[in-house]
Amino acid sequence: MTTQHHQPIVLLVEDDPHVRAMLVESLTGEGFVTLEAANGKEGLARFAAGKVDVVVTDILMPEMEGLQFIKALRGQAPELPIIAISGGAVHLSPGCNLELASMFGATHVIQKPLNIDDLAATIKRCLPA
C-alpha cells in the first residue's frame, strides 16, 4: 500500500494585489500550493471549489471583510485552521483587529508587516503531523 502525500494547500485572502503576489511567491517557495482571493466573498468561492488545508486571511478588505469571512468559514468548517493577518486601520490597532479575529474563530493571528518565515512556520504548525 502506498501513502500519498500532497503538498499543503493554503487559501490566501488578501485585497492588496502587491502583498498578495509577494505572499503567493513566498509561500509557493516554501512548498505550499497557494490559492488566491482578493476578499472574503472570493475566498468563500475558492474554499467551496476544493480542498484547503489552511486559510490565511487579511481582516480589512472590500466586499466581505475578514471577520465576516472567518465567521462564514467557521460555519462550514469548524476545525479548519485559520490564520488572521492585519496591519490595523486608521481607528483600530492591529492588536484590536487580531483580538476580534480570535473571537470570531481564527486559530492564529499575526501582525503585519509579516515575516514570511514566521508565517510559514505557523502554517506548518497547523498541518497534521
Q: What is the pTM of this model?
A: 0.91
Asked whether residue 44 is domain-assigned, the answer is yes
Question: Residue 98: which domain range?
Answer: 9-126
* The one-letter amino acid at 53: D
The mean pLDDT value of the chain amounts to 90
Query: β-strand 108-111 against 33-37: which pairing, if any?
Result: unpaired
Asked whether residue 92 is domain-assigned, the answer is yes
* % of the chain at pLDDT higher than 90: 75
The CB density around residue 112, as the number of other CB atoms within 10 Å, is: 16
The domain total for the chain is: 1
Tens-digit pLDDT profile for residues 64-119: 999 999 999 999 999 999 999 987 654 555 568 788 899 999 999 998 889 999 99
Asked whether residue 1 is domain-assigned, the answer is no
Asked whether residue 3 is domain-assigned, the answer is no
Asked whether residue 4 is domain-assigned, the answer is no
Strand partners for 36: 12
> How far apart are alpha carbons 85 and 118 in whole angstroms?
12
Q: How confident is the model at residue 7 (pLDDT cuts 50, 70, 90)?
A: very high
